């Protein structure tokens, strides 16, 4: 029970890495608030957590918009009294280079992944500063460190998250707040399955191709990324801030 008495907000918590993290944090003792744009999926995740003895609420929110981010913080504090952990996970991906990327895809990617991380942090930080404690985990990517092909908007957003994380860590280290980024490689998520569909590949074909590019010969699971998030959220990582924790099966190693 590494998160006993903690309260966590998880954006994009209604599927994939966010859902797995919400459920793991709950099992470890945290009360959780998840956000997402799909009310039905949010409700399903929260019901599953509450049925197993956890405490969870959800907010239908789009992290591009400050009023909806503020509403998420207010709802969490109203339900649970405080915010200890912010897991900035919401994001989108379009497989496009700079020539092919339409401006609306660029804006959507930057606004959800990068601006959304900024806005949620902006509204969470005051209460963390007041209590002189808190943890912010920003989900970047291995491609936020090394870059990748046909992912110009995604790489821009995720690379920005890595350096924004370092800036925030420096700004708030003296206030008892730790800020780190989590950099997964390819993971079995709905986002990756949608990318396979968009490329006209079956999931088995896509999976085999992605696995072949990893030194460990496979892609990750959402549960593996959730465990890394738990490490960053818990007292197991109390001397870490401004770091980028890479969990990618060796993809960025060489």
Residues with a catalytic annotation lie at: 154
Round to the nearest angstrom and report the end-to-end CA distance of the chain: 36
Q: Which of 127, 11, 104, 9 is nearest to 61 (CA)?
A: 11
CA distances from 32 to 127, 141, 142, 159, 248 (A): 16, 24, 27, 27, 26
Residue 36 C-beta-side C-alpha neighbours within 13 Å: 22
Residue 248: is it exposed, middle or buried by C-beta count within 10 angstroms (0-12/13-18/19+)?
buried
- Asked if 157 and 116 count as a contact pair (C-beta separation under 8 A), the reply is no
């Amino acid at each position: 029970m590494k998160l006993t008495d903690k309260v966590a907000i998880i954006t994009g918590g209604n599927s994939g890495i966010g859902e797995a993290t919400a459920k793991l944090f709950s099992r470890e003792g945290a009360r959780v608030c998840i956000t997402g744009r799909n009310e039905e999926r949010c409700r399903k995740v929260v019901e599953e957590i509450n049925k197993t003895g956890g405490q969870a609420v959800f907010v239908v929110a789009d992290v591009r918009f400050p009023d909806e981010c503020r509403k998420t913080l207010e709802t969490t504090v109203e339900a649970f009294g405080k915010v200890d952990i912010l897991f900035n996970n919401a994001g989108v991906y379009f497989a496009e280079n700079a020539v092919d990327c339409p401006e609306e895809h660029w804006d959507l990617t930057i606004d959800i992944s990068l601006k959304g991380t900024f806005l949620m942090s902006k509204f969470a930080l005051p209460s963390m500063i007041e209590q002189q404690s808190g943890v912010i985990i920003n989900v970047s990517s291995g491609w936020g460190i090394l870059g990748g092909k046909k992912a110009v908007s995604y790489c821009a957003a995720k690379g920005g998250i890595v350096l924004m994380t370092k800036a925030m860590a420096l700004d708030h280290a003296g206030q008892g707040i730790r800020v780190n980024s989590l950099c997964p490689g390819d993971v079995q998520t709905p986002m990756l399955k949608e990318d396979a569909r968009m490329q006209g590949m079956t999931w088995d074909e896509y999976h085999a191709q992605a696995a072949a590019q990893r030194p460990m010969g496979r892609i990750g699971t959402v549960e593996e990324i959730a465990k890394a998030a738990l490490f960053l959220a818990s007292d197991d990582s109390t001397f870490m801030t401004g770091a980028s924790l890479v969990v990618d099966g060796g993809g960025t190693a060489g």
